[in-house]
Amino acid sequence: MKILVIEDEIELQNIIKTSLLKEQYTVEVASDYYAAQEKITIYDYDCILLDIMLPNGSGMNLLQELKKMNKSGSVIIISAKNSVSDKIKGLELGADDYLTKPFHIAELTARIKAVIRRNNLDGKNYIELGNIVLHTQDRTLTINGNLIHLNRKEFDILYYFLLNKNRLITKTALAEYVWGDHIDESDNFDFIYYQIKNLRKKLDNAEASIIVDTIYGIGYKLSEK
C-alpha cells in the first residue's frame, strides 16, 4: 500500500517513513506545499499523512484540491494544532482522521490501517474473490485454504489488481503504485513483467479461480475464470 507523508519537520518525517517501511508500505515524502501539490496531482495514494502548517502554503488547501480531484485515498491530518475548529474544518474538507502532535508511532500506524481498511475493504482485513483470500493484516495469500508464499512486490501487485478487478490497469499506473515515484528513474517496465510472470505461475500452480490477462501494449486486467 502506498502512503504519502507531507511533513516539513524532517526528523519526524524520517521517523514516520522508517516506521511505515517496516510495515511493508511504499512510502513517499513531501516537505513543503509545492512538492506535496505536485505529488498528489501526479500520483494516487492509499493514505496521505498531512500536516496543516507547511512552508509556502496550508495543508487545508491541499485537502480542498484533493476533494476537487476526487482522489479516493484516505487522509489523516497530523498537526500540532489542537483546536476543535481546526479538527472540524479538516474533517469537513474530507479528512478521515485527525491526530494531534506529539503522538505515538504505534497509534499512527493503527489509524492508517483503520482508515485504509474502512475505505478500501469495507472494514475487513481481507479481500476474497473466488477461491482466493488475500489477508492484508499479515500479508498472506490462501488459495483453496492453502497458504501461498508471495514476495513483497507480488503481494502489492495482487492487492492492487484485486482492488481494481475487471478494470484495465496500465503498466505506468501499476509501476507508480507498487514502486512509487522512483519509477521515474527506470528505463523500461521489464521488472513488472517478471514479477507478474512469477505471480501468474503461483496462481496457476495453486489452481486459483482468477486470471491476470495481458492487454498488449497497454497493461493488465484481473478477472475470474
**What pLDDT sits at residue 182?**
59
One domain, residues 47 and 71: yes
* Nine-digit cell string for 161: 489488481
Domain C-terminal end among 120, 146, 177: 120
The number of distinct structural domains making up the chain is 2
Cα 81–82–85 angle (5° rounding)? 95
Q: Any residues with CB less than 8 A from the CB of 48 and at least 6 apart, and which?
A: 3, 4, 6, 40, 66, 73, 74, 75, 76
Listed as own residue / partner, the contacts of 158-162 with beta carbons closer than 8 Å and 24 or more positions apart are 158/134, 158/199, 159/1, 159/127, 159/134, 161/212, 161/220, 161/222, 162/127, 162/129, 162/134, 162/222
Domain residue limits at 40: 2-120
One domain, residues 154 and 71: no
Supply the CATH number for residue 181's domain: 1.10.10.10
DSSP code of residue 185: G
One domain, residues 113 and 132: no
**What pLDDT sits at residue 183?**
58
One domain, residues 99 and 136: no
Could you report the per-residue pLDDT of 99-131, keeping only the tens digit for each? 999 999 999 999 998 888 888 777 788 999 999
Question: At 181, is the pLDDT very low, low, confident or very high (cuts 50, 70, 90)?
Answer: low
Strand partners, 6: 30, 50
Could you report the per-residue pLDDT of 161-178, keeping only the tens digit for each? 998 899 999 888 888 887
Q: In what order do the strands lie in the sheet with 140-143?
A: 126-129, 132-135, 140-143, 146-148
One domain, residues 142 and 187: yes
Q: At what angle do helices 10-22 and 105-120 cross, to 10 degrees?
A: 60
CA distances from 122 to 27, 49, 114, 131, 151 (A): 23, 21, 10, 19, 25
Residue 188 pLDDT > 70:
no
**What pLDDT sits at residue 1?**
81
One domain, residues 17 and 115: yes
Domain C-terminal end among 99, 120, 141: 120
Of 66-75, 187-196, 200-209, least confident by mean pLDDT is 187-196
